[in-house]
């Protein structure tokens, strides 16, 4: 019997960049965290922690953010467009 063990890897740089990109797109749409929270039904505190790179958000949240920011999901992970 073959047993495979996979270690959970947390990519902190990716998580921080995702948060920065979410904030950038949210602000470009003229939305506050509170407004995005009301649209997405994701708590404002969860959005804040995501934007600060403090939480590893779910794929479901990524899809929800993309839908209500009116962008394709891939835009949220296109870090080449991050402002430095």
Where residue 30 sits, what CATH number does that domain have? 1.10.260.40
User: Looking at the domain assignment, is residue 80 inside a domain?
Assistant: no
C-alpha to C-alpha distance for 79 and 43, rounded to whole angstroms = 24
Using a cut of 0.95, tell me whether the model's pTM lies above it.
no
User: Looking at the domain assignment, is residue 62 inside a domain?
Assistant: yes
Number of domains in the chain: 1
Torsion 21-26-30-31 (CA) sign = negative
Q: Tell me the pLDDT tens digit for each residue of 22-71.
A: 999 999 999 999 999 999 999 999 999 999 999 999 999 999 999 999 99
User: Looking at the domain assignment, is residue 26 inside a domain?
Assistant: yes
Joined together, the tokens standing for residue 77 give 């992970």
What residues make up the domain containing 29? Answer: 12-71
User: Looking at the domain assignment, is residue 82 inside a domain?
Assistant: no
């Amino acid at each position: 019997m073959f047993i495979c063990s996979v270690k959970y890897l947390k990519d902190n740089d990716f998580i921080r960049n995702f948060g920065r990109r979410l904030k950038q797109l949210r602000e470009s749409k003229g939305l506050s965290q509170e407004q995005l929270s009301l649209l997405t039904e994701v708590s404002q505190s969860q959005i804040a922690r995501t934007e600060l790179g403090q939480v590893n958000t779910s794929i479901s949240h990524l899809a929800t953010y993309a839908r209500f920011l009116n962008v394709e999901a891939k835009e949220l992970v296109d870090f080449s467009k991050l402002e430095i």
